[in-house]
Structure 1
Amino acid sequence: MSSINYSEKIPNNVNLAEDRTLQRALEGWQPNFINWWDDVGPEGSTNYDVYLRTAVSVDPQGWAQFGHVKMRDYRWGIFLNPGDAERKIHFGDHMGEKAWQDVPGEHRANLRRIIVTQGDTEPASVEQQRHLGLTAPSMYDLRNLFQINVEEGRHLWAMVYLLHKHFGRDGREEAEALLERQSGDENNPRILGAFNEKTPDWLSFFMFTYFTDRDGKFQLSALAESAFDPLARTTKFMLTEEAHHMFVGESGVSRVIQRTCQVMNELKTDDPKKVREAGAIDLETIQRYLNFHYSVTIDLFGADQSSNAATFYSSGLKGRYEEGKRTDDHVLKNQTYKVLEVKDGQLLEKEVPMLNALNEVLRDDFIKDSVAGVGRWNKVIEKAGIPFRLTVPHKAFNRAIGALAGIRMSPDGRVVSESEWDAKKKDWLPTDEDRAFVASLMGRVVEPGKFANWIAPPVMGINRQPVDFEYVRFA
C-alpha cells in the first residue's frame, strides 16, 4: 500500500520532501491554483462543508476516506500508483526495453504536448461546470458535482507535477499556462473544442460526464500503457477517480429517463408537449442531447488518420486501450484497419495502415463502451413498458474533425443534402427552444432528501449513507 503523507503542505506519495527545488516550485504554483479555484471554481461555494471522498492511499482496497470538508481546503496532492522497478515497455519500437523513469530527449516535445493536452481538460471541465451548483436538482447531486470538481482539480495537479519534475523551465511555463487559458474564452480558449462548449444545465452535465469523461477514461487508459513510467503510474491512479465521474453521468441520465417514463405512464401519453407541460424532459429531447454530446466527444479522439498517433505508439508514448490484453505483435507495422470516407456521396470503408489509424481504434473502443451504457438506459424505458429506444448516432454524424468533418449525415447513417440537413437538424440536435425548456426546469432543490420534479431519486446514497443525508452543509 502506498500511503499519502497528509502532514505536508502538498500531500503526496512521491517523497516530495526529498526534492526541495521541486517542492518549492510546486508550493509556488499552489497559490495560483487556489486563486484560479476562487475565480472560476464552483460559484458561491466557498463556505460549504461538503461530504467529500479524499484519497488516503493508492491501494485499490479502501483508498478513500469520507468526511465534510470545505472544497477550498480539499487536500489536493500528487499520487502515483506504486512503481515496478522491473517494468518493461510492452509495445512499439522499444518493446522489451526497461520503462523510462526520465524523459528521453528525442521524445521530450511529444511527451510534453501529450501531458499539456491532458492537463488542459481538467481545469476546463471545472470552468464549464462553474454555475451548475446554483441549479442543483438535489443535495445528493450537488455533492456529486463538487466531488467531480475537486477530483478534476487533483487531476490537474497530477499533470502539473509531471511538467514541473520532468520538463524544467518549459514545464513550469506550461503549468502556469494551464491556469491562464479558460473554457470558452475568445482570446485564450482551452486546447480541445469540446472543452470550450458550455455546460448550461444538468442534462448537459450528465451527458458530459457520461460521454466526455468516458473519453477521459480511454485517453488515460492509453497513457497508462506509456513507456514513460511516471506518466503511466499517474494516469492509472487517475482512472480510479474517473470511474465515479462516469457513474454520475450514467446514473444521472438514467434517473432523468426513469422520471420521464413515470410521468408518461401517469398521464398515459407519449406526446412530448404533454410530458414537458408536466415538468419532465421528453425522451425525444434526451435523444437530441445524446446526439450532440456523443458527436462532440468522438471528435476528441482526433483525425481518423494521424501520423502523430503512429509516432506516439511506435515511440512507446501512448498505447492502445488495454494493450496488454491484445494478442497481436504490439508493433503493428504490417497491420491495417478500416476507416470511413465519403466518395461521390457514398460512405465507404477503406483499409489504411493500423499505426496511422490508432485514433480510430481508440474511438471505436469508446463507441463500443458508450453503446453498452445506452443499452442500460433503454432497459429503464423497456421496464416502464414504453416503445421508445435511445440510439447512438452514426459515427459520421455531426463531425467537425477528420475525414468526416462537415459531411452531412443523418443519425441513422445516410449521407443527406444540405437542404435535408437544414430541414431535419431540429429533430437531430438540441434546438434553442430545447435548451430554453431544459433551462426552465433548473430550479435549485437542496433540502435533504428532496428532488426536482424532472429527476428520480437514486437507488442508494453515497458511502452507505441514506439518500436524505446532509451531504452539503451550507454556511
Structure 2
Amino acid sequence: MPEKIDYDAKIPNNVNLGDDRRLQRALEGWQPKFLNWWGEMGPTLETHGVYLRTAVSVGREGWAHFDHVNVPDYRWGIFLAERDADRRIAFGEHQGEPAWQQVPGEYRADLQRLIVIQGDTEPASVEQQKLLGLTAPSLYDLRNLFQVNVEEGRHLWAMVYLLHAYFGREGREEAEALLYRNSGSPDAPRILGAFNEETADWLAFYMFTYFTDRDGKYQLGTLKESAFDPLSRTCEFMLKEEAHHMFVGTTGVDRVVTRSADLIREHDTLDIGPRGGIPLDVIQKYINFHYTVSLDLFGSETSTNAANYYTAGLKGRWQETRRKDDHQLTDGSTFLDKPNEDGTWSTDEVQTLLALNLDLRGEYIADCNSGIKRWNRILADAEIDFRFALPHVGFNRQVGLHAGHHITPDGTIVDQATWESAKHRWLPTTEDLAFVRSLMHPVYERGKIASWVAPPTHGINQKPFDYEYVYLT
C-alpha cells in the first residue's frame, strides 16, 4: 500500500481505489450526497479560505501540509495507515493467527455494527457544531473549529469506505443512513445520546472536544487492535488526526480558566460574571455535564457483547499489546461498586472478560484527570482557593448500573426530591447556559480575542496568534 496519498484522483486515497472500478463508482456516487450533507449540515459561517491541515501521507513524519483552503473544496479522502504484512491477531480465540484482510462471514454483522456506530459519531459532531462559527472568539479558534469539522468529515469517509469495500449492499445502505440521521432529530437521531446534545457555546465546544472526543480516542484505540486489518489501519490513522481535536479542548479550557483567574485576581472576587468572565463554579458544572454524558458512551459496566467482541478478535483493549496477561481473559475477575436501592453501596466481583467496558472507562477517567490537574495548576499558580474535580462515576448517568439512581458528585445516593432540589448546584441551569451564550460575541479581527477567554500561548504550525487564519471577505 502506498504511503503517499493520491490527490489527483476524484476521491483522494492511498488504497489504490482506481484498481477497483466498481468500488470507485460506488464511492463516487456517495460523494455528491456527502457534499450535499456538508452544505446543509456543516458550518453555517461562510469563509473564503481557512488555514487547514491536510494529510499528504500516512508515514510517521511529515504527514500533513498546511495552507489556506476554501472549506467546501476541501479534499476529503480515504487514508489507511501502512500495512504490516506480518501483523498477527493479539488477543481472543484467534490469537497468533494472521490478521484478516477480509471479513469472516461469522463476524460480518458484528463488525458492520461496530463500524456503523463509530461512523455515526463523526458527522454528528459536525452537526452539533454547525452554528459555532457565528460566535467564534478569535480567528485562531475559528480555524480550529473548521479543522475539527473537516477531519470529522474525513473520519466519516474512513468508515464509509470500509462499509462500501467490505460489506456489499448492506454496507452501502448503512453508508446512506449515516447521512440520513441527524444530531437531535426527533425522527432520525444519531445512535448515541451524547451526539444528540446541543453544542451551543464555545465553552461547550471546548468541553466536547476534551471529554467526548477523548471517548472517541479510546473507542478508536480498541478498534485499532481489531483482527480485521483494514479497520485497524483506518483507526490508527484517525487517531493521528483525533489528537488535535483533544488539543483544542485541553487548551481551550486552559484558556477559559486562565482568563477567569485573571479576572478574579484583578477584581478580587469569584463573582466575575458581571466583569465578562465565566465563573469557576459554572466551568465546574460544564465539566460535570460533559464528563458524565461522555461516560455513558462506554455503555454498561458489564457487557456480554463486549466480551464476545473481544473473544472473536473484533475489538481489543486499550493498548492491548502492552498488557501483561494471556490476552484471553478466561480467568480473572475485577471488582465493581454497585448502588443499592437503600442508599448504600456494595461491591460485586465480576469476570474480567465481562468488564471490558469498565476497563476502558477506567483508562479514560485516568486520562480525564490529567486535564483537571492542569486546570487546577492554573488556579494554584494564581493563588485562587478553588479546585475543579471530576464528579463520582455514578453522577448524572443515563446508561449502566447507575442509571435510575440519584447520586451526588461526591458519591452519595439520595432520593429524587433531594436531587431535584440540589441539581442546580451541580449541572448547568437554564440561567447558566443563557449567561454563557450572552458572552458569545464573534471576534473576527486579527490578533483580537473575546473577553472571556485568554489567547493561546502558541499559534498553529508555528504561526503567531495574530496570523490571518481565516479569510472572511
The 8 Å contact of residues 87 and 98 in structure 1, kept in 2 or not, is answered as: yes
Task: Report what 1:471 is aligned to.
Answer: 469
Q: Does 2:87 match 1:87?
A: yes
Residue among 332, 350, 353 paired with 1:352? 350
Task: Report what 1:399 is aligned to.
Answer: 397
Tell me the distance in 2 between the aligned counterparts of 1:347 and 1:244: 39
Task: Report what 2:331 is aligned to.
Answer: 334
Paired residue secondary structure (1:349): strand
Q: Structure 1 residue 444: deviation in Å?
A: 0.4
Task: Report what 2:45 is aligned to.
Answer: 44
Residue type of the alignment partner of 2:276: G
Tell me the distance in 1 between the aligned counterparts of 2:95 and 2:207: 38
The 8 Å contact of residues 76 and 153 in structure 1, kept in 2 or not, is answered as: yes
Tell me the distance in 1 between the aligned counterparts of 2:472 and 2:23: 37
Q: Structure 1 residue 84: deviation in Å?
A: 1.1
CA RMSD of aligned residues (A): 0.8
Per-residue Cα deviation, 1:44-64 (whole angstroms, up to 9, x for no partner): 32x420000000000121110
Tell me the distance in 1 between the aligned counterparts of 2:141 and 2:276: 19
Tell me the distance in 2 between the aligned counterparts of 1:414 and 1:48: 52
Q: Structure 1 residue 331: deviation in Å?
A: 0.3
Tell me the distance in 2 between the aligned counterparts of 1:337 and 1:96: 26
Task: Report what 2:440 is aligned to.
Answer: 442
Per-residue Cα deviation, 1:300-334 (whole angstroms, up to 9, x for no partner): 00011111000100000000000011101100011
Task: Report what 2:305 is aligned to.
Answer: 308
Q: Does 2:113 match 1:148?
A: no
Task: Report what 1:66 is aligned to.
Answer: 66
Task: Report what 2:260 is aligned to.
Answer: 260
Calculate percent identity across the aligned residue pairs: 60
Q: Structure 1 residue 424: deviation in Å?
A: 1.0
Task: Report what 1:412 is aligned to.
Answer: 410
Q: Which stretches of structure 1, 4 residues or more, deviate above 2 A after TM superposition?
A: none
* Greater mean deviation of Cα atoms: 208-217 or 354-363: 354-363
* Greater mean deviation of Cα atoms: 414-423 or 52-61: 414-423
Residue type of the alignment partner of 2:304: S
Residue type of the alignment partner of 1:283: L
Q: Structure 1 residue 39: deviation in Å?
A: 0.3
Q: Structure 1 residue 348: deviation in Å?
A: 2.0
Tell me the distance in 1 between the aligned counterparts of 2:347 and 2:399: 17
Task: Report what 1:171 is aligned to.
Answer: 171
Tell me the distance in 2 between the aligned counterparts of 1:102 and 1:434: 51
Tell me the distance in 1 between the aligned counterparts of 2:120 and 2:335: 31
Per-residue Cα deviation, 1:16-44 (whole angstroms, up to 9, x for no partner): 00000000000000000000000010003
Q: Structure 1 residue 413: deviation in Å?
A: 1.0
Tell me the distance in 1 between the aligned counterparts of 2:40 and 2:400: 35
Q: Does 2:293 match 1:296?
A: yes
Tell me the distance in 2 between the aligned counterparts of 1:460 and 1:368: 26
Q: Structure 1 residue 354: deviation in Å?
A: 1.1
Tell me the distance in 1 between the aligned counterparts of 2:196 and 2:420: 24
Q: Structure 1 residue 374: deviation in Å?
A: 1.0
Tell me the distance in 2 between the aligned counterparts of 1:161 and 1:234: 10
Tell me the distance in 2 between the aligned counterparts of 1:438 and 1:337: 42
Tell me the distance in 2 between the aligned counterparts of 1:331 and 1:33: 40
Tell me the distance in 2 between the aligned counterparts of 1:269 and 1:464: 36
Task: Report what 1:371 is aligned to.
Answer: 369
The 8 Å contact of residues 337 and 351 in structure 1, kept in 2 or not, is answered as: yes
Task: Report what 1:277 is aligned to.
Answer: 274
Residue type of the alignment partner of 1:11: P
Task: Report what 2:54 is aligned to.
Answer: 54
Residue type of the alignment partner of 2:274: E
Tell me the distance in 1 between the aligned counterparts of 2:438 and 2:155: 33
Q: Structure 1 residue 429: deviation in Å?
A: 0.3
Paired residue secondary structure (2:413): coil
Task: Report what 2:113 is aligned to.
Answer: 113
Tell me the distance in 1 between the aligned counterparts of 2:63 and 2:347: 45
The 8 Å contact of residues 99 and 229 in structure 1, kept in 2 or not, is answered as: yes
Task: Report what 1:24 is aligned to.
Answer: 25
Tell me the distance in 2 between the aligned counterparts of 1:234 and 1:445: 37
The 8 Å contact of residues 91 and 319 in structure 1, kept in 2 or not, is answered as: yes
Residue type of the alignment partner of 1:76: W
Paired residue secondary structure (1:53): strand
Residue type of the alignment partner of 1:9: K
Residue type of the alignment partner of 2:390: V
Tell me the distance in 1 between the aligned counterparts of 2:349 and 2:370: 27
> How many positions carry a matched residue from both structures?
471
Q: Does 2:399 match 1:387?
A: no
Q: Does 2:32 match 1:34?
A: no
Task: Report what 1:211 is aligned to.
Answer: 211
Q: Structure 1 residue 340: deviation in Å?
A: 2.4
The 8 Å contact of residues 309 and 356 in structure 1, kept in 2 or not, is answered as: yes
Tell me the distance in 1 between the aligned counterparts of 2:121 and 2:162: 16
Q: Structure 1 residue 402: deviation in Å?
A: 1.0
Residue type of the alignment partner of 2:67: G
The 8 Å contact of residues 398 and 406 in structure 1, kept in 2 or not, is answered as: no
Residue type of the alignment partner of 2:245: H
Q: Which runs of 5+ in 2 are unaligned?
A: none
Q: Which runs of 5+ in 1 are unaligned?
A: none
Paired residue secondary structure (1:308): helix
Tell me the distance in 1 between the aligned counterparts of 2:357 and 2:288: 21
Q: Structure 1 residue 85: deviation in Å?
A: 1.3
Task: Report what 2:226 is aligned to.
Answer: 226
Q: Does 2:97 match 1:97?
A: yes
Task: Report what 2:317 is aligned to.
Answer: 320
Residue type of the alignment partner of 2:31: Q
